[in-house]
Amino acid sequence: MKNVTLNKALFLKINEIIKKYESDKHNLLAILLETQDLIPKHYIPIEAAAFIGDKLNIPISRVYDVISFYSALNDKPKAQHVIKLCKSTTCRVNRYQTVRDVLEKELGIKMGQTTPDGKFALEYSACFGACDISPAFRIDTEVYGNLTEKKIKEIINKYKEV
Amino acid sequence: MKKTVSLISKNFKKIHPESLKEYLKAGGYDGLKNALPLTSLEVITAVKKSGIKGRGGAAYPTGLKWEQAAAIPGPRKIVICNADEGEPGTFKDRYLLEYDPFKIIEGMTIAAYAVGANEGYIYIREEYKKLQNRMRKIIDIAIQNGFLGNNILGTNFKFNIKVFSGAGAYVCGENSTLIESMEGKSGRPRIKPPYIKERGLFNLPTLVNNVETFSIIPVIFTIGPEEYAKYGTPNSRGTKLISIAGNIKKPGTYEIPFGITLNEIVFDIGGGIRNNKKLKFLQIGGASGSIVPASMTHIRYCYEDFKEHNITMGSGAILVADETIKVVDFLKSVQDFFLHESCGKCTPCREGNRQLSKIFNRFVKGNASIEDFKTIERFGKVMKYCSFCGLGQSATTALLSAIKHFPDEFYTHIDKVHKTI
Ligand code: SF4
Ligand code: FES
């Protein structure tokens, strides 16, 4: 997958975020999260990581320590929509495996893979607090639960259309 | 005894969560109005009188914690609300954030007043991004209406709250780790002392409480600590929000008085097991909690009974598993979770979880050996006693309790090996 080279406008926007957080290195996590939201395919390109490290006066290794530690931060581009299927305890007793099978069949990919058009990626996730509607997955920030085969297909089709 | 109550949960699905007007009409901010004319000492005494213990899992008496926080000198103190709910099976804090966010900030404001803090943060997990936005919105409304900011309710008490987003790390639910991440670092727990209450966020004295703990505070100052303490048992005062999920008919968050039995929770409140199946076991308190077999559901939900049976209340989760669930399969999902979430700082947890996961794969595939069985028990104990933080210490609680209650399930997987060899 080709990396997005950062254009000037994007750097300016990142700079604004850094300024909003008073160029304070204590706010690294918040700055990285907001930066990632700006970038298509939800990741932090190396140029952006270097830029942020520079502005906050911290080594880039420290920036990467944080990016690699937290599951919400990515150093590589993701798909347009990442489907995160919970496989923690509640979803285990409610058989997330059936959801996985439907998803894999619908999208023609296995867990951990991305569709050739870069539209969907499938991954596992730890519990995201939707256990009352388990089995559940997240697509980007949207949570879907009480999943049945029919419902999963409808959801996927909705995302395919846009 | 009534099985569910509505004190903390009174507003759930009853008022529009983002409407201050509706919150006020439902008695919101009466607690703060009653607390502000009191001295800090009087506020703390009332909290002590209520007898509540922290609802985040550690069950430390809240009044005592506040008293210690208030006694620490310093012109700048911090109050943090831990909304990093991440225990699998737990979603009761989500209900509070979703359906009654004003109550949380009202509780935080009373806490800040009691301990002498002017700065507050609410650390909400990344997975609840939408609720972070809701929280930001209602904080703005509170500021505009004089419930936060410089002269709260016309007094000269000043308190502000900022929302901080987590980034998907379960270990950050531990208070010192949460603070590390708020300082822009990766989430690895701190060595104590110094304690957070003395040197927490930015090395300032810091009080951290859980969402539910803060939400009880306005209730205490509305109905009075004595009235609140009437609920529950002698050692477990008040009410508790629990999350019931799994193979159950009516999953959800419910408020119960301490002291009703697990049976009542599962069958009367949760409606019983789905699909006419039989109950096999419960997991109490999240992935880090014990496995409790169906034969033990006469136990009451309270600190006394739990202590007697070596169960920790943890996050308030009650996960229900029916007879079709194999114990080793279930434990593997627990193990995978901890393997993924271990921060890697200390060896027992980092390597222990890795080895246990490997062994579990053998159990699930049915080619484990008797040595494997001995090893998991030994590793489980090493991790319990030698890990640096609560994550590693409790990662094998489920495993060790399962070995105790369901030894046969392990043996059958071992037996298969002998038959096939
Ligand atoms: S027990 Fe050790 S490795 Fe595990 S989360 Fe705690 S500090 Fe990290
Ligand atoms: S266990 Fe799957 S959402 Fe909580």
pLDDT tens figures, A48-77 = 999 999 999 999 999 999 999 999 999 999
Q: Are residues B149 and B161 in contact, defined by beta-carbon separation less than 8 angstroms?
A: no
Bigger pLDDT: B56 vs B27: B27
Residues B188 and B132 in one domain: yes
The count of C-alpha atoms lying within 13 angstroms of the C-alpha of B114, restricted to the half-sphere facing its C-beta, is 33
* Whether residues B218 and B239 fall in one domain: no
Q: A86 alpha carbon to ligand 2 midpoint, in Å?
A: 6
Q: Nearest CB to B184: which of A25, A88, A89?
A: A25
- My answer on whether B216 and B82 are in the same domain is yes
Work out the minimum CA distance from B216 to partner chain A, whole angstroms. 21
Pairwise CA distance, residues B133 & B92, whole Å? 18
Number of domains making up chain B: 3
Q: Name the residue in chain B with its Cα closest to that of A23.
A: B184
SS3 of residue B251 by DSSP = coil
Question: Which residue of A lies nearest to B95 if distances are taken between CA atoms?
Answer: A129
CATH number at residue B374: 1.20.1440.230
B346 within 8 A of B190, measured Cβ to Cβ: no
3-state helix, strand, coil in chain B (%, to 5): 50, 15, 35
pLDDT band, very low/low/confident/very high, at B412 (cuts 50, 70, 90): confident
* Nearest residue of B to residue A28, measured between CA atoms: B184
Task: For residue A86, say whether it is annotated as part of any ligand binding site.
Answer: yes
3-state helix, strand, coil in chain A (%, to 5): 50, 10, 40
Statement: residue B397 has pLDDT above 60: yes
Task: Looking at the structure, tell me whether residues B43 and B117 fall in a common domain.
Answer: yes
- Tell me, yes or no, whether B76 and B224 share the same domain: yes
Q: Evaluate whether residue B35 is within a structural domain.
A: yes
* d(CA B395, ligand 1 centre) in Å: 10
Q: Please tell me the number of the ligand nearest to residue B343's CA.
A: 1
B317 and B338 co-located in one domain: no
Rounded Cα distance, B10 and B12, in Å: 6
Rounded to 5 degrees, what are φ and ψ at A29?
Answer: -60, -45
CATH number of the domain where residue B224 is located: 3.40.50.11540
Mean pLDDT of chain A: 94
> Is the ipTM reported for this complex over the cut 0.90?
yes
Give residue-wise pLDDT tens across range B174-232: 999 999 999 999 999 999 999 999 999 999 999 999 999 999 999 999 999 999 999 99
Q: How far is the CA of B113 from the centre of ligand 2 (A)?
A: 36
Tracing tokens 């009761």 back to the chain, one arrives at B92
Task: Kindly report whether the peptide bond that precedes residue A135 is cis, defined as omega within 30 degrees of 0.
Answer: yes
Is residue B111 one of the residues assigned to a domain? yes
> Where do the domains of chain A lie?
8-69, 81-161
Q: Which residues form the domain of B285? A: 232-322
**Confidence class of residue B419 from pLDDT cuts 50, 70 and 90?**
very low
Which residues contact residue B361 at a Cβ distance below 8 angstroms, ignoring those fewer than 6 apart? B332
Backbone angles phi, psi at B418, to 5 degrees: -60, -35
Q: Is residue B10 part of a domain?
A: no
The domain boundary residue, chosen from B168, B195, B230: B230
* Rounded Cα–Cα distance for residues B207 and B122 (Å): 12
Cβ-contact A65, A49 below 8 angstroms: no
- The answer to whether residue B6 sits within a structural domain is no
Mutate which: B94, B126, B127, B254, vs A, most A CBs within 10 A? B127
Task: Answer yes or no: do B269 and B335 share one domain.
Answer: no
Same domain? For B314 and B380 the reply is: no
SS3 A37: helix
- The mean of the pLDDT values for chain B is 95
Give a yes or no: residue B12 inside a domain: no
Measured between alpha carbons, how far is residue B198 from residues B27, B72, B180, B205, B337 in Å?
A: 35, 7, 15, 4, 32
Is A131 known to sit in a ligand binding site? yes
Cβ partners under 8 Å of residue B297, min gap 6: B261, B262, B263, B266, B279, B282
Chain B residues with CB under 8 Å of A92 CB are 329-330, 333
Distance CA B98, CA B103 (A): 11
Backbone φ, ψ for residue A57 (5° rounding): 65, 45
DSSP-derived 3-state class of residue B393: helix
Shortest-distance Cα residue to atom 8 of ligand 1: B343
Contact between B321 and A93 using a beta-carbon 8 Å cutoff:
yes
The number of CA neighbours under 13 Å toward the Cβ of A132 is 17
Residue A26, φ and ψ in degrees, nearest 5: -65, -20
* CATH class of the domain comprising A81-161: alpha beta
For residue range B326-360, list pLDDT tens digits in order: 999 999 999 999 999 999 999 999 999 999 999 99
Q: With an 8 Å Cβ cutoff, are A129 and B90 in contact? A: yes
Pocket test for ligand 1, best of B387, B393, B397 (most atoms within 8 A of CB): B387
pTM: 0.95
User: In the prediction, which pLDDT does B57 show?
Assistant: 85
Please tell me which of the candidates B94, B184, B325 has its beta carbon nearest to residue A93.
B325
Q: In testing the pocket of ligand 2, which one of A88, A93, A97 has its CB within 8 Å of the most ligand atoms?
A: A88
Residues B283 and B393 in one domain: no
Judge whether A132 is annotated as a binding position: no
> Where do the H-state alpha helices sit in B247-389?
262-263, 303-308, 327-341, 347-365, 370-386
| Distance from the A33 Cα atom to the nearest Cα atom in chain B, whole angstroms | 8
Both B170 and B32 in one domain: the answer is yes
How far apart are the C-alpha atoms of A133 and B80, rounded to whole Å?
A: 29
Residues whose CB falls within 8 Å of the CB of residue B349, separated by 6 or more in sequence, listed in order: B338, B342, B343, B383, B387, B388, B389, B391, B392, B395
**Dihedral angle, C-alpha B78, B81, B85, B90, nearest 10 °:** 150
What's B275's domain CATH number? 3.10.20.600
Please give the sequence-ordered ranges of beta strands (E in DSSP) within chain A, or none if there are none. Answer: 81-86, 120-125, 137-139, 142-144
* Beta carbon of A134 within 6 Å of any ligand 2 atom: yes
Estimate to the nearest angstrom the gap between the alpha carbon of A119 and the chain centroid. 13
pLDDT at residue number A161: 84
Amino acid at B259: G
Chain centroid offset of residue B335 CA: 20
pLDDT of residue A2: 43
Q: Are residues B353 and B371 in the same domain?
A: yes
Cα of B342 vs centre of ligand 1, distance in Å, is 6
Sheet holding B206-210, edge to edge: B160-165, B119-124, B78-83, B206-210
What ligand 1 atom has the least distance to the C-alpha of B171?
5
* Ligand 2 atom nearest to CA at A135: 2
Q: Which ligand is nearest to the CA of A127?
A: 2
Nearest ligand to the C-alpha atom of residue B353: 1
The answer to whether the CB atoms of A71 and B169 lie below 8 A apart is yes
